[in-house]
Each structure stands twice: as C-alpha cells, then as structure tokens.
C-alpha cells in the first residue's frame, strides 16, 4: 500500500474497518451505506455466521470471524463505543448511548431533524458561466432545479442560480409537505409572484423528508444563496441511478446548457423589452420582473419547462 492509499484509508475508513471487522477498507460513497455492495455482502456473511453458530455449526477460518460491525463495537466499554455519526465523520467523538439502535435514539432524531436539514451545501469548486454560479458535483434538471447528494442516500433539491436570479424575488413558495411523493419531470413546487404562479419540475422521484423553513418564510431570499441557505427540499429518492443519467452533469455539459438557456431567454424577452442591456455583457438580475404578468407567466414556463 502506498502512502497516499494509506492516507485515504485514514481519512475515509469504512465503518467495518473502524470496528475492526476487516483490516483495510476505504469508503468511497461518503458513508452512504444504503446501496453499498460491500456493506450488503458483509451483513449477509455476518448473518449467516450468526445463524450457523446458533445451530451449533460455527464457520471456521477468516470468514467465521466476520460479525456485524455494531456487535464488534459492543465489546468496547460503553464510554468508548463511538456514535455512528462519529464513525461517518460528521461529528466529533460522542459515545453511543442507545446500543447502536439508531431508529429510536434521541440524538439520531435530533441529528436528522436539525443537523442534516440545516447543514447547507458549501461548494468548494464553483464555476461561473457568463456570470451565473454552478457548483461542481451537482446535477441540473432542464427545468433549472438541481440535485446534490446528501446523507444516508438522501438528496437535496433547489433552484439553480440562473433561474433564481432571472425570476427575481418571490412573494410565496408552496413547498410539498413531508411524506409527499415526487415524480421526476412532474410539478413539485409552486412559486408565486405578483398574482401569477410558476411550477418547478421535480428533478428526481422520491419522498419528501424535509423542507427548508427559511425559504418558506423568506422566499424573497432564494436568489441570495441558491445552493446554500436557499435549498428547498430533502428527498429520499426511489430511482436515483436511472434518473440522474437524464440530468446535466459535468463542467462542459452544464456550461453548454446554461449558454443555450441564456440565448433562449434573450430571444423570448427582447420582443417585450427590446435588446437587453447588461453590465459587462451579462444579464441583469430580475429580468422577468420587468415583464407584464401575462408575459412573465409565459416565459417563466418556458424557462422552467413546465
């Protein structure tokens, strides 16, 4: 093992490695264990070993020493048993106080309700396309909603910088309730301005697990930080792998898409406003706010593909 490989294992060690069940294994899924083949295989082996032992036929050899990672950690003194969120590199050390039964753990519930919901996307790599911001690592729907990977297999959804700035400040945003099912390419969020409404299409299918109360309370602030404080929904996706392939991803693909949308916006707006004047050759914010309500509704539907 090279020094770089060793360092990667130290930075992102698999939970099974941290528990001491396996010697070396790097997590490459940001601790999204749901859907991880390695986790699934080891859980199956651990279950089979337990069943064989209970039947009086313990499995010999290295395979026979595979037990569920939580059972391994339970061998530690209570004050040294690390919380699952510590193992996933989300918090500083905290001992597990519920015997690794997370579904009825008060801290896990607090973490899901508060920490994950209010932890915002802070992109490290940010490209600017004709003045519009697009973080690396997100997927863009043709209707200008975006998807980013969150935790435990969930995704975060919002409106991209281009659409948020062109649409201008909203008066009210209807966000779906918790438990509401969404379907890709169908209406999921409704935005209201000056007596007219526009619908956002869901970028992926799934079930709503959280919504952003800040956006619901202060919809006019959406464009300030659309990839951070302006996120809209947390969703547990149902067909993520297939549906992500239909979205825009990657610097070149996203850049081409945004440039195409800018050209389309120019063509749609100029009959109403004349040639668009913009500082430095870039579109000014709230272009659509200068339109009469009927034109705002028509062009908004064009932009949002709704």
| 152 and 194 housed in the same domain | yes
| 192 and 251 housed in the same domain | yes
CA 54 from chain centre, in angstroms, equals 41
> Which of 65, 91, 118 delimits the end of a domain?
118
pLDDT of residue 16: 96
- The DSSP string of the chain is --HHHHHHHHHSB-HHHHTTSSS--B--STT--TT-HHHHHHHHHHHHHHHHHHTT-PPPHHHHT---HHHHHTTS-GGG-B-HHHHTTSSS--B-SSTT-GGG-HHHHHIIIIIIHHPPP--SSEEEETTEEEETT-EE-TTSEEEEE-STT-EEEEE-HHHHHHH---SEEEPPPTT-EE-TTSEEEEEEETTEEEEEEPSS-EEEEEE-HHHHH-GGGGGGSTTTTT--EEEEESSHHHHHTTSB-SHHHHHHHHHHHHHHHHHHHHHHH-SPP-GGG-PPTTGGGGS-HHHHHHHHHHHHT-
| 157 and 302 housed in the same domain | yes
| 164 and 46 housed in the same domain | no
> Which of 118, 143, 159 delimits the end of a domain?
118
**The pTM of the whole model exceeds 0.85:** no
| 60 and 155 housed in the same domain | no
> Using one digit for the tens of pLDDT, what is the confidence trace for 120-152?
555 546 788 888 888 877 899 999 999 988 866
| 11 and 38 housed in the same domain | yes
Q: Are 58 and 64 in contact (CB under 8 A)?
A: yes
| 62 and 144 housed in the same domain | no
| 170 and 288 housed in the same domain | yes
Is residue 67 packed enough to be buried (19+ CB in 10 Å), middle (13-18) or exposed (0-12)?
Answer: buried
Name the domain count of the chain.
2
| 114 and 132 housed in the same domain | no
pLDDT of residue 250: 81
Q: CA–CA separation, 202 vs 205, rounded Å?
A: 7
| 18 and 152 housed in the same domain | no
* pLDDT < 50 positions in the chain: 1-9, 124, 277-281
| 103 and 135 housed in the same domain | no
| 77 and 140 housed in the same domain | no
Q: Are 121 and 149 in contact (CB under 8 A)?
A: no
CATH number for the domain that contains residue 205: 2.40.50.100
Is residue 91 packed enough to be buried (19+ CB in 10 Å), middle (13-18) or exposed (0-12)?
Answer: middle
> Which of 98, 118, 138 delimits the end of a domain?
118
For 57, the domain range is 3-118
């Amino acid at each position: 093992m090279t020094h770089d490989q060793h360092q990667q294992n130290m930075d992102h060690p698999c939970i099974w490695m941290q528990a001491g069940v396996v010697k070396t294994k790097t997590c490459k899924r940001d601790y999204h264990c749901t859907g991880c083949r390695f986790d699934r295989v080891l859980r199956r082996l651990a279950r089979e070993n337990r069943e064989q032992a209970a039947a009086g036929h313990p499995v010999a050899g290295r395979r026979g020493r595979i037990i569920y990672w939580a059972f391994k950690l339970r061998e530690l003194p209570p004050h040294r048993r690390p919380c699952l969120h510590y193992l996933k590199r989300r918090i500083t050390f905290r001992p597990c106080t519920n015997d690794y039964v997370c579904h009825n753990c008060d801290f896990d519930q607090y973490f899901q309700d508060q920490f994950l919901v209010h932890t915002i996307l802070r992109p490290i790599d940010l490209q600017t396309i004709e003045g519009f911001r697009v973080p690396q690592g997100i997927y863009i729907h043709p209707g200008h909603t975006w998807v980013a990977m969150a935790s435990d297999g969930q995704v975060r959804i919002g409106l991209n910088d281009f659409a948020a700035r062109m649409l201008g400040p909203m008066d009210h945003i209807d966000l779906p309730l918790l438990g509401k099912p969404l379907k890709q390419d169908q209406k999921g969020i409704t935005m209201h301005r000056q007596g007219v409404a526009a619908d956002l299409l869901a970028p992926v299918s799934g079930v709503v697990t959280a919504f952003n109360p800040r956006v619901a309370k202060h919809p006019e602030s959406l464009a300030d930080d659309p990839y951070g404080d302006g996120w809209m929904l947390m969703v547990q996706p149902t067909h993520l792998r297939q549906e992500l392939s239909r979205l825009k991803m990657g610097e070149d693909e996203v850049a081409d898409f945004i440039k195409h949308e800018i050209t389309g916006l120019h063509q749609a707006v100029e009959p109403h406003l004349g040639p668009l004047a913009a500082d430095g050759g870039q579109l000014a914010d709230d272009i659509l706010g200068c339109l009469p309500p009927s034109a705002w509704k028509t062009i908004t539907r064009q932009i949002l593909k709704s």
